[in-house]
Amino acid sequence: MKPLSKIQATALQLRLNHCCARVPEIRLILLATVDGFQQVVAGSQRADAELPEKFAAIASSMMALGEAAGKEVGSKKRLEAVVLDLTDLRVILRMVGGGKQQFVLATVADRKVSLGVLLKIVYENARLLEEALC
Amino acid sequence: MVQEYKLLFAGGMGVGKTTAISAVSEIPPVSTDVANSDREAFDKELTTVTLDYGRITLPSGDRLRLYGIPGQQRFSFMWAMLEHGAMGMVLLADASRPDPFVELDIFLKAFSKLLRTGRAVLGVGRLSKRRGALDKYVAKLARRKIKIPVFSVDVRKKKDVLLLLDALFTQIEVLEEAYRSGEPSGKAAQSTSPAGDLANNPASDHANDKEPAKDGEASEKVAASASLADDLASGKEPPKGGVFPGKTVQSTNETTV
Ligand SMILES: Nc1nc2c(ncn2[C@@H]2O[C@H](COP(=O)(O)OP(=O)(O)O)[C@@H](O)[C@H]2O)c(=O)[nH]1
Ligand SMILES: [Mg+2]
Mutant choice from A34, A51, A61, A96 vs B, greatest count of B C-beta within 10 A: A61
From CA B177, how far away is CA B173, in angstroms rounded?
6
> For position B254, what pLDDT does the model report?
26
pLDDT tens-digit map of B76-96: 999 999 999 999 999 999 999
pLDDT tens-digit map of A63-93: 999 999 999 999 999 999 999 999 999 999 9
Look at B34 and A35 and tell me if their CB atoms are within 8 Å.
Answer: yes
From CA A44, how far away is CA A29, in angstroms rounded?
9
> What global pTM score does this model have?
0.81
Chain B residue with minimum CA distance to A52: B74
Q: Point out the ligand 1 atom lying closest to the alpha carbon of residue B71.
A: 19
Q: Domain spanning A6-133 has what CATH number?
A: 3.30.450.30
| B37 → closest Cβ in A1, A64, A67 | A1
Going from the N-terminus, what domains does chain B have, and what CATH number goes with each? Answer: 4-233 (3.40.50.300)
Sign, Cα dihedral of B229, B232, B234, B237: positive
**Residue A45 DSSP symbol:** G
Q: Point out the ligand 1 atom lying closest to the alpha carbon of residue B154.
A: 27
Instruction: Classify burial at B149, counting beta carbons within 10 Å of its beta carbon; exposed 0-12, middle 13-18, buried 19 or more.
Output: buried
CA of A62 to the centre of ligand 2 (A): 16
> For position A82, what pLDDT does the model report?
98
| Cβ neighbours of A58 in B, within 8 Å | 77
Chain B residue with minimum CA distance to A34: B34
Domain ranges of chain A: 6-133
Provide the pairing of β-strand B150-153 with B120-125: parallel
| Ligand sitting nearest the alpha carbon of B10 | 1
Q: Is the CB of B13 under 6 A from ligand 1?
A: yes
Instruction: Identify residue A35 by its one-letter amino acid code.
Output: D
pLDDT tens-digit map of A91-132: 999 999 988 889 999 999 999 999 999 999 999 999 999 988
Chain B residue with minimum CA distance to A101: B35
A9 lies within 8 A of chain B by CB: no
Tally of residues, chain A: 134
Q: Is the CB of B64 under 6 A from ligand 1?
A: no
For residue B8, pLDDT beyond 70: yes
> For position B184, what pLDDT does the model report?
59
From CA B66, how far away is CA B53, in angstroms rounded?
6
> For position A94, what pLDDT does the model report?
98
Closest-CA distance, A130 to chain B, in angstroms, reads 18
Q: Is the CB of B14 under 6 A from ligand 1?
A: yes
Of B197, B252, B256, nearest in space to B83 by CA: B252
ipTM of the complex: 0.88
For residue B53, pLDDT beyond 60: yes
Q: Which helix (H) or strand (E) holds A129?
A: helix A115-133
From CA B257, how far away is CA B147, in angstroms rounded?
9
Q: How far is CA B243 from CA B58, B91, B103, B192, in A?
A: 9, 20, 31, 16
